């Protein structure tokens, strides 16, 4: 069968922004000098590492390793969504029936060991990622991929179980690594073997478990390619690790590293200052973006008997006074998360459209009745609403769910699966002791309802282990947003993933209606089919009250060394925070 489409790029909807033969992306400086060092600091949640393999389940890999060391068949642009341009692949073709995508590899593509990147390596990478030793998220993401076939030395074809416009981008974005990595050992035993990828950087000097330096591969095969021109400009990228947030901030002020992204409004407003900021050596920059808002939330684990009733979960939601927190603690710098798809066309609004109702109606018995009405909005304490009014609503919901206050403590009276007299005591798990400050106002409000929320800080290794085993009541997670949701939502909310250890379904949600909406979303052939499915999923999830929405910033807040770093004039609208600096900034001579 003749391919339906072939060329230098694949776009999910419409033509790609950049035509064949384009010189470089618009947001880079193609004349950027090469050399120098970028000194970064690791995010607190990846405060150490014990392996070099970022794909296996156990352990932690160093920050930025995947992005810097592994090329993929296709790569995206920071000023465009839902398009992949040829990187390892010089050509991509999609069959007319949508059941396969074929990639032709560039003859120049090389791994760090000098060996060519061949179709066998692409197949090996795919087979390994869906094998027994990697995160189950890959298996869920690739569930509709039937397999990979080597057609010749440099041509590989991925077969799909059903037509899905997203799958060519999904397989095109997989990391590709050499068959020689690990010398044939079982993949879970490939731990400290340096990865053999084809990206612009390799592992350099390492203080194992503490600091790591990536060095640019002098023989990087794609340094002159249009999708890499003006990028990967630093000779070295070092990543320092501080386990204490205060130590990180003081190290920045002392000039020990060049760039730090801030997620704390308090730090940004009150503590990012000092002599080096006064002299202009260090600069505070807020970079506006058009990225999806994401849905950073408090995650409620419905596997716990105390959290199985949606009315209890809604009561917890009503007790969070975001407006007070934003005013008193966050310096008014955040906006409230409202749903899964904020700042994108997939965000549900108002009441369901006829197309949305057509998707929802067959599942009415499995869907919260509120999902057929106005879209969920996070509770507010702004006039005419108030915290008092919200807590009264919460009390009514708790009574209806079989809970009563006895001597100031909320106890089970008639709650299925919960012994009578059981107090409603929940644990909030965090890997950062500083999280107590943010949770404390919520805890105080819950006390007024007779609910005890205990704060539990654990070290990162234990935190990660408990997440993998779903051993928590409530935790906080930042879910990345997307303009083009697809199969990854089956990992986050699908029924099958709820029973898979180390999956992304932290809430434990199991609902056939959710599975059906995700299937409709994944199977959409046009945006006109995609949007109603997104909106319907949005309504079901948010009205299920499995998430208590938090907040997001519409800018990237970064402090950087203006005496050591230069940046391009153009800020791409979909720049991913500090990775914009990693890829496109350069060192001053």
- What pLDDT digit, counting tens, does each position of 201-255 carry? 999 999 987 899 999 999 999 999 999 999 999 999 999 988 778 888 999 999 9
* CA–CA distance, 584 with 229 (Å, rounded to integer): 9
572 and 517 part of one domain: no
* CA–CA distance, 283 with 35 (Å, rounded to integer): 22
In a domain, 223, yes or no: yes
13 and 47 part of one domain: yes
Mean pLDDT of 333-349: 92
The residues that bridge with 56 in the sheet, in sequence order, are: 134
567 and 519 part of one domain: no
In a domain, 254, yes or no: no
3-state helix/strand/coil string of 28-93:
CCCCCCCCCEEEEECCHHHCCCCCCCCCECCCCCCCCHHHHHCCECEECCCCCCCEEEECCEEEEE
* Lowest mean pLDDT segment, chosen from 16-30, 37-51, 219-233, 402-416: 37-51
464 and 446 part of one domain: yes
In a domain, 278, yes or no: no
Token pair listed for 154: 């440099």
Q: Is residue 5 pLDDT above 70, yes or no?
A: no
The predicted pLDDT at position 333 comes to 83
* CA–CA distance, 331 with 16 (Å, rounded to integer): 40
548 and 559 part of one domain: no
Domain range enclosing 531: 297-552
458 and 516 part of one domain: yes
In a domain, 192, yes or no: yes
pLDDT tens-digit readout, 94-144 = 999 989 999 999 999 999 999 999 999 999 999 999 999 998 889 888 999
Q: Which CATH number covers residue 198?
A: 3.40.190.10
Contact 84, 90 (CB under 8 A): no
pLDDT tens-digit readout, 517-534 = 999 998 888 889 999 999
* CA–CA distance, 102 with 5 (Å, rounded to integer): 10
576 and 517 part of one domain: no
465 and 561 part of one domain: no
In a domain, 245, yes or no: no
Q: Is 132 exposed, middle or buried (0-12, 13-18, 19+ CB in 10 A)?
A: exposed
230 and 313 part of one domain: no
In a domain, 69, yes or no: yes
- How many structural domains compose the chain? 2
451 and 567 part of one domain: no
228 and 306 part of one domain: no
Alpha helices (H) along 352-507? 354-360, 387-400, 435-447, 460-468, 488-493, 495-498
In a domain, 521, yes or no: yes
Q: Which CATH number covers residue 310?
A: 3.10.105.10
In a domain, 455, yes or no: yes
Q: Is the dihedral of CA 218, 219, 223, 227 positive or negative?
A: negative
477 and 352 part of one domain: yes
């Amino acid at each position: 069968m003749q391919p339906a489409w072939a060329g230098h790029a694949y776009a999910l909807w419409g033509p790609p922004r950049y035509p064949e033969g384009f010189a470089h992306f618009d947001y880079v400086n193609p004349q950027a000098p090469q050399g120098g060092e970028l000194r970064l600091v690791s995010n607190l949640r990846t405060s150490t590492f014990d392996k070099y393999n970022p794909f296996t389940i156990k352990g932690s890999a160093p920050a930025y390793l995947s992005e810097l060391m592994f090329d993929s068949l296709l790569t995206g642009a920071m000023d465009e969504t839902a398009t992949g341009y040829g990187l390892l692949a010089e050509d991509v073709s999609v069959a007319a029936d949508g059941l396969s995508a074929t990639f032709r590899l560039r003859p120049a593509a090389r791994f760090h060991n000098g060996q060519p990147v061949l179709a066998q390596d692409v197949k090996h990478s795919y087979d390994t990622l869906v094998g027994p030793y990697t995160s189950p998220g890959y298996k869920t993401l690739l569930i509709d991929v039937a397999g990979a076939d080597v057609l010749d030395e440099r041509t590989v074809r991925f077969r799909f179980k059903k037509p899905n416009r997203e799958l060519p981008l999904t397989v095109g974005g997989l990391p590709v690594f050499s068959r020689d990595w690990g010398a044939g050992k079982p993949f879970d035993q490939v731990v400290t073997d340096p990865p053999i990828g084809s990206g612009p950087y390799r592992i350099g000097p390492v203080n194992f478990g503490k600091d790591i330096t990536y060095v640019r591969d002098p023989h990087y095969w794609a340094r002159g390619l249009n999708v890499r021109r003006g990028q990967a400009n630093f000779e070295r990228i070092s990543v320092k690790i501080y386990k204490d947030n205060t130590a990180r901030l003081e190290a920045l002020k002392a000039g020990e590293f060049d760039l730090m992204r801030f997620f704390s409004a308090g730090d940004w407003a009150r503590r990012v200052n000092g002599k080096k900021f006064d002299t202009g050596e260090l600069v505070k920059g807020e970079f506006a973006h058009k990225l999806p808002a994401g849905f950073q939330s408090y995650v409620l684990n419905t596997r716990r008997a105390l959290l199985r009733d949606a009315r209890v979960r809604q009561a917890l939601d009503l007790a969070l006074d975001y407006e007070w927190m934003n005013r008193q603690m966050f310096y008014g710098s955040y906006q409230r998360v409202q749903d899964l798809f904020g700042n994108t066309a997939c965000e549900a609004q108002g009441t369901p459209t006829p197309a949305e109702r057509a998707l929802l109606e067959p599942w009415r018995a499995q869907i919260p009745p509120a999902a057929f009405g106005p879209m969920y909005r996070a509770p507010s304490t702004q006039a005419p609403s108030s915290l008092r009014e919200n807590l009264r609503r919460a009390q009514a919901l708790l009574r209806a769910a079989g809970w009563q206050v006895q001597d100031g403590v909320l106890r089970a009276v008639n709650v299925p699966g919960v012994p009578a007299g059981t107090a409603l005591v929940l644990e909030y798990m965090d890997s950062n002791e500083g999280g107590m400050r943010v949770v404390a106002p919520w805890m105080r409000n819950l006390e007024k309802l007779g609910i005890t929320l205990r704060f539990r800080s654990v070290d990162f290794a234990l935190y990660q282990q408990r997440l993998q085993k779903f051993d928590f009541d409530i935790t906080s997670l930042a879910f990345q947003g997307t303009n083009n949701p697809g199969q990854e939502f089956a990992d986050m909310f699908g029924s099958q993933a709820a029973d898979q250890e180390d999956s992304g379904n932290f809430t434990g949600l199991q609902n056939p209606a959710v599975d059906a909406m995700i299937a409709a979303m994944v199977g959409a052939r046009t945006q006109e089919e995609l949007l109603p499915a997104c909106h319907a999923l949005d309504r079901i999830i948010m009205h299920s009250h499995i998430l208590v929405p938090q907040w997001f910033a519409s800018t990237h807040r970064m402090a950087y060394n203006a005496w050591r770093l230069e940046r391009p004039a153009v800020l791409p609208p979909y720049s991913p925070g500090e990775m914009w600096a990693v890829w496109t900034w350069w060192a001053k001579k």
